[in-house]
């Protein structure tokens, strides 16, 4: 019984071992190569169960998904000799596992990544070296990345790989050139700022000059119109004065004399040295006796007369002087008979002088006649 059971168990075990060694499963995320003594005898790309010869053939699996590869930072020199440090990455997948096996051998994906790095580095140097740094840093980067990917696809096909995309992650300046580049950028920005300031100042000067010219034109026009209006007003005023004063020319002459007195006797110390028979004294002279050389014409009747001056005291020394001869009495009688007229005539110039002095505030003056 024991021997018969042993005979049954041994074949069963052998069958199970043969089944496990001859059957293999291909995952949907993988591709498989069936190798016999290192030579590719079958390619399994469809997922499912597959069979191989046990102990003679073996199976190698490769990833069928999209793989990523980050390229180490690479220093490139664009056409304007400004060095840049470029960091890129690629997306690829294994499309031909048999060619991939022949290209990389037993190294597998690690060896393929090393070969792919060399391809990407060469394309990065070639493409980025043919353009300027401004193009690398501008919106034209998409076109540059497309050129790099197109150039790498041709070389990657020999490895059984398909380059899906290549992207530039970072583009920086080398540390040793960073400060010099920043200084040059600052100088360029300062120059541009100075140019903008100069253009702004020029525009401001032009606008300011135009504004000043407009102000001068408007001011001149306003002054011209003001002078025209003032001239018309003066003409109208003179016309009104002429019409009014022609009705009484003597009063007009008296009014003009008062105006001359007012303008001449201004200030705290106004002294005029004039001849006694000057026309300036026409309305400042008093009525004299007929034989008096300083006799002047009387004040016009149209000028209002001032009130008579108060009579001097009886004991005034000037009135108590005795007569020198017999004609003195007659002279005194004539003087007495003419006293009211002379006092009235003297009051009028006094009133005129008062009016002239009242024309200017705090104005006093002295007129010194010179006898001829």
- Tell me the pLDDT tens digit for each residue of 69-88: 898 888 888 888 878 888 89
Q: How many domains does the chain have?
A: 4
Burial of residue 356 (CB within 10 Å: 0-12, 13-18, 19+) is: buried
List CB contacts of 270: < 8 A, sequence separation 6 or more.
264, 363, 364, 365, 366
Helix (H) or strand (E) holding 157: helix 141-157
3-state SS assignment for residue 162:
strand
| pLDDT for the residue 343 | 35
| pLDDT for the residue 216 | 94
Residue 11 in domain: yes
Q: What distance in Å separates the CA atoms of residue 364 and residue 343, rounded to the nearest whole number?
A: 24
* Cα of 261 vs its chain's centroid, Å: 62
Q: What Å distances lie between residue 135 and 78, 79, 197, 260, 365, CA to CA?
A: 9, 10, 29, 91, 94
Looking at the fold, whether 81 and 155 belong to one and the same domain comes out as yes
Looking at the fold, whether 38 and 139 belong to one and the same domain comes out as no
Q: What is the DSSP string of 298-362?
A: PPPTTSPPPPPPPPPPTT-TTTSPPPSSTHHHHHHHHHHHTHHHHHHHHHHHHHHHHHHHHTSTT
Count Cβ neighbours within 10 Å for each residue of 129-144 and write b for 16 or more, e otherwise.
eebebebbeeeebeeb
| pLDDT for the residue 7 | 67
| pLDDT for the residue 3 | 64
Q: What distance in Å separates the CA atoms of residue 21 and residue 57, rounded to the nearest whole number?
A: 9
Q: What distance in Å separates the CA atoms of residue 143 and residue 367, rounded to the nearest whole number?
A: 106
3-state SS assignment for residue 158:
coil
Contact assessment for residue 117 and residue 71, using Cβ atoms and an 8 Å cutoff: yes
Residue 325 in domain: no
Contact assessment for residue 168 and residue 144, using Cβ atoms and an 8 Å cutoff: yes
Looking at the fold, whether 148 and 86 belong to one and the same domain comes out as yes
| Phi, psi torsion values for 41, nearest 5 degrees | -115, -20
Q: What distance in Å separates the CA atoms of residue 206 and residue 211, rounded to the nearest whole number?
A: 9
- Show the tokens assigned to 58: 């073996």
| pLDDT for the residue 218 | 95
Look at the block and give the residue holding tokens 């995952």.
Answer: 27
Single residue among 63, 78, 110 that ends a domain in this structure = 63
Looking at the fold, whether 165 and 269 belong to one and the same domain comes out as no
- Per-residue pLDDT tens over the stretch 285-299: 655 444 444 444 444
| pLDDT for the residue 226 | 95
Looking at the fold, whether 365 and 255 belong to one and the same domain comes out as yes
Q: What distance in Å separates the CA atoms of residue 199 and residue 201, rounded to the nearest whole number?
A: 5
Looking at the fold, whether 195 and 95 belong to one and the same domain comes out as no
| pLDDT for the residue 269 | 66
Which residue stretches of the chain have pLDDT < 50?
A: 288-372
Looking at the fold, whether 256 and 231 belong to one and the same domain comes out as no
Residue 204 in domain: yes
Contact assessment for residue 159 and residue 115, using Cβ atoms and an 8 Å cutoff: yes
Residue 208 in domain: yes
| pLDDT for the residue 229 | 95
| pLDDT for the residue 323 | 34
| pLDDT for the residue 5 | 66
* Cα of 268 vs its chain's centroid, Å: 58
Single residue among 132, 148, 172 that ends a domain in this structure = 172
Contact assessment for residue 161 and residue 93, using Cβ atoms and an 8 Å cutoff: yes
Residue 90 in domain: yes
Candidates 161, 164, 30, 165; CA nearest to 102 is 161
Residue 178 in domain: no
Number of other CB atoms surrounding residue 218 within 10 Å: 10
Looking at the fold, whether 350 and 282 belong to one and the same domain comes out as yes
| pLDDT for the residue 6 | 65
| pLDDT for the residue 353 | 35
Structural domain range at position 299: 250-309+333-369
* Cα angle 354-356-360, degrees, rounded to a multiple of 5: 110
Single residue among 232, 247, 262 that ends a domain in this structure = 247
Residue 319 in domain: no
| pLDDT for the residue 253 | 82
């Amino acid at each position: 019984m024991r021997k018969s059971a042993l005979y049954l168990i041994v074949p069963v075990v052998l069958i199970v071992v043969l089944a496990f060694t001859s059957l293999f499963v291909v995952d949907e995320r993988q591709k498989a190569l069936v190798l016999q003594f290192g030579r590719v005898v079958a390619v399994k790309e469809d997922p499912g169960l597959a069979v191989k010869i046990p102990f003679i053939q073996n199976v190698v699996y490769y990833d069928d998904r999209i793989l990523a590869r980050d390229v180490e930072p690479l220093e490139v020199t664009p056409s304007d000799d400004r060095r840049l440090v470029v960091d890129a990455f690629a997306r690829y997948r294994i499309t031909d596992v048999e060619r991939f096996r022949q290209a990389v051998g037993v190294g597998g994906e690690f060896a393929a990544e090393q070969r792919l790095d060399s391809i990407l580095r060469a394309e990065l140097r070639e493409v980025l070296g043919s353009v300027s740094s401004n193009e690398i840093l501008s919106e034209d980067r998409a076109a540059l990345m497309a050129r790099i990917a197109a150039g790498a696809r041709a070389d990657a096909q020999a490895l059984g790989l398909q380059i899906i995309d290549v992207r530039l992650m970072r583009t920086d300046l080398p540390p040793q050139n960073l400060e010099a580049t920043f200084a040059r950028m600052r100088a360029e920005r300062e120059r541009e700022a100075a140019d903008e300031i100069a253009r702004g100042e020029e525009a401001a000067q032009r606008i300011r000059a135009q504004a000043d010219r407009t102000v001068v034109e408007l001011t001149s026009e306003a002054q011209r119109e003001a002078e025209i209006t003032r001239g018309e007003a003066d003409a109208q005023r003179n016309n009104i004065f002429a019409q009014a004063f022609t009705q009484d020319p003597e009063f007009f002459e008296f009014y003009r004399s008062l105006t001359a007195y007012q303008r001449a006797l201004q200030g705290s110390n106004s002294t005029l040295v004039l001849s006694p028979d000057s026309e300036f004294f026409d309305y400042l002279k008093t009525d004299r006796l007929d034989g008096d050389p300083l006799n002047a014409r009387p004040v016009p009747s149209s000028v209002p007369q001032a009130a008579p001056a108060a009579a001097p005291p009886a004991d005034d020394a000037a009135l108590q002087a005795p007569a020198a001869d017999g004609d003195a009495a007659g002279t005194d009688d004539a003087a007495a008979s003419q006293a009211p007229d002379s006092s009235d005539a003297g009051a009028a110039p006094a009133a005129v002088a008062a009016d002239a002095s009242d024309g200017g505030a705090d104005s006093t003056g002295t007129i010194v006649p010179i006898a001829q």
